[in-house]
Amino acid sequence: MLTEAQTAVSYHESATTPESRKAKGQFFTPSVVAEFMANMFCDIPTEFRMLDAGAGVGTLTAAVCERIMNEPCRRIFHADLYETDVESIPRLRHVLDACSDALVTHGHNFSYSILDKDFAFATTRQSLPLFTDEDEPVQYDLAIMNPPYFKIGADSEHARAASQLGVVQPNIYSLFLAMAVECLRPNGELVAITPRSYCNGRYFRPFRQWLFQRVSLEQVHSFASRTETFKESQVLQESIITRFRKTLYPTETVKITRSFGRDFSSVETQQVGRNRIIDNSCGDNLICIPETREDSAVVEVAESWSQRFADMGLRISTGPVVMFRTRQFHVDKLGVKATVPLFASHHIKRTGLYWPNQKPKWPEAFAATRDSRKHLVPRDNYLLVKRFTSKEERRRLTASAIFSDTVSSEYVAFENHINYVRHAERSLSLSELCGLEAVFNSVILDRYFRSFSGNTQVNATEVRSMKFPDMETIASIGDLIREANITSCSAREHVVLDALAIRGDTRRYLEGLIL
């Protein structure tokens, strides 16, 4: 059955263009991933009804059918599959007919309905079959999905559909998740492969709050490679697979699994306390996903630190200079007219701030005029942090200090691809700044950050929510580095680990990652 589905995918992809599929938010699930997802369900009833929203050519339903085919106990079930792509529907029907024939041969009873309408609007009373002749909503025991992916416009029909649920949805995939949750029976299960982006950040905060009032997160599966899962479609978003149960009584632990791309032969598994995975201490319901047991230990250490970034008097902001909007203020060289230095992401290295750093067609300075004043910040002691990094990079966090006495102008310009850290009420001391630079560049903070950041941005919102060592400890790290004139990155790493009293297996794990 999965072979039929994979053949259908190949035919469909040869008959369509990547651009047309991307415009529809259409990314087909590889058969090995579908098989893994089907096996994530814990409880498959003897008789049940299943939802597959955004079914494509039926790969996920075929995977469930393959799992059931060899079950010794006879199953009777019906699947409702939503698909709006007219080019996919004939192939979908062919795959489902093959599933039905195979299941009948093995003593099971399978029926299906293909619904050529947008699932996002399926919970309205005008949309069958989610409402029966008795005007009662159809409920599902199981739901499995690989929903489409595209942003929802504020004035779109999808946004209006989301408002009926009482929550703003930034993306179509989160709307599909919410709709599926609404359609589940009590204790029903939902397995979905989606981008990881809803796990953190302020845009998805209302959705997370809504979600965890209705379901228990029971399993999260992550992939060691961000791009391997959907490599044919060139998907750049980091994907995760989640299993939810519709219940008001969440489990005490969450199963965390991890594979290397599509290789599910040696899946790493750990059970982690729910409070370590879902952090609602600030009301954000952030979802933390430590990749390994060692990373779980790192998270436990970090969460023991006494304060969050935002509670330490620190502030983090995004650089105000958007290059394509400020071309009239770009100046090739500092000193021409009234200018200030322009700092950008390529100047930031773990070994220091390299400005000017010759980059073709990149201005070195920014005009300092009355009109450009809103794009500038006062000269001060700042920590500059790269905003865009990917999972595959050796470090997600890269930072460099800028000292006020190294800048002669009254103001400086920070490009939009960097964040800058400052103190809200005063200048950072030299020791504090050196300590912050060492901590931000440390392997322990990098592994901690990776556990809850699932996109290519180092968002200021995420940094504000992170736990940090207290400022006294940070300043002591800076003192040690300055007094001993430590310039080596690895030596600074050991200063941080010593100051934070990292010992035992966690220390050995982190030392093995120091480059």
pLDDT surpasses 70 at 372: yes
- Residue with token string 């999972």: 391
pLDDT of residue 135: 54
- Average pLDDT (478-507) is 97
pLDDT surpasses 50 at 435: yes
pLDDT surpasses 90 at 4: no
pLDDT of residue 125: 40
pLDDT of residue 238: 87
Share of the chain above pLDDT 70, in %: 95
d(CA 490, CA 236): 31
pLDDT of residue 43: 86
Tell me the pairing of strands 339-343 and 365-367.
Answer: antiparallel
pLDDT classification of 138: cutoffs 50, 70, 90: confident
Share of the chain above pLDDT 90, in %: 71
Q: Which amino acid is at 92?
A: L
More confident residue, 72 or 108: 108
Q: Is 299 helix (H, G, I), strand (E, B) or coil?
A: helix
pLDDT of residue 127: 43
Q: Which amino acid is at 304?
A: S
| Range list of H helices, 39-120 | 59-69, 89-105
User: pLDDT tens for residues 49-79?
Assistant: 999 999 999 999 999 999 999 888 999 999 9
Nearest alpha-carbon partner for 204 in 244, 162, 258, 242: 162
φ and ψ at residue 247, rounded to 5 degrees: -160, 155
54-63, 185-194, 279-288, 412-421: segment of lowest average pLDDT: 279-288
pLDDT classification of 104: cutoffs 50, 70, 90: very high
More confident residue, 445 or 461: 445
- Average pLDDT (484-508) is 97
pLDDT of residue 456: 78
What does pLDDT average to over the chain? 90
More confident residue, 10 or 414: 414
C-alpha to C-alpha distances, 488 to 154, 270, 478, 514, nearest whole angstrom: 49, 35, 14, 12
pLDDT surpasses 90 at 433: yes
- Average pLDDT (498-515) is 95
- Average pLDDT (483-497) is 97
pLDDT of residue 231: 59
Query: Exposure of 25 by Cβ count < 10 A (0-12 exposed, 13-18 middle, 19+ buried)?
Result: middle
d(CA 239, CA 197): 9
Q: Residue 347 has what DSSP assignment?
A: G
Residue 459 near residue 499 (C-beta atoms within 8 A): no
- Average pLDDT (462-489) is 95
C-alpha to C-alpha distances, 432 to 304, 409, 436, nearest whole angstrom: 21, 23, 6
pLDDT of residue 67: 96
| pTM (two decimals) | 0.88
- Average pLDDT (216-242) is 78
pLDDT of residue 235: 56
pLDDT of residue 335: 82
- Residue with token string 């865009």: 388
pLDDT surpasses 50 at 205: yes
- Chain-centre distance for alpha carbon 40: 21
d(CA 343, CA 411): 12
d(CA 448, CA 491): 20
d(CA 148, CA 303): 35
Nearest alpha-carbon partner for 139 in 182, 83, 173, 175: 182
pLDDT of residue 32: 94
* Interacting residues of 335 by C-beta distance below 8 A, sequence separation 6+: 365
More confident residue, 240 or 337: 240
Tell me the CB-side half-sphere exposure of residue 515, using CA atoms within 13 A: 8
Residue 166 near residue 191 (C-beta atoms within 8 A): no
Q: Which token pair is 400?
A: 């460099």
pLDDT surpasses 70 at 328: yes
User: pLDDT tens for residues 390-418?
Assistant: 767 789 999 999 999 999 999 999 999 99
Q: Which amino acid is at 386?
A: K
pLDDT surpasses 90 at 82: yes
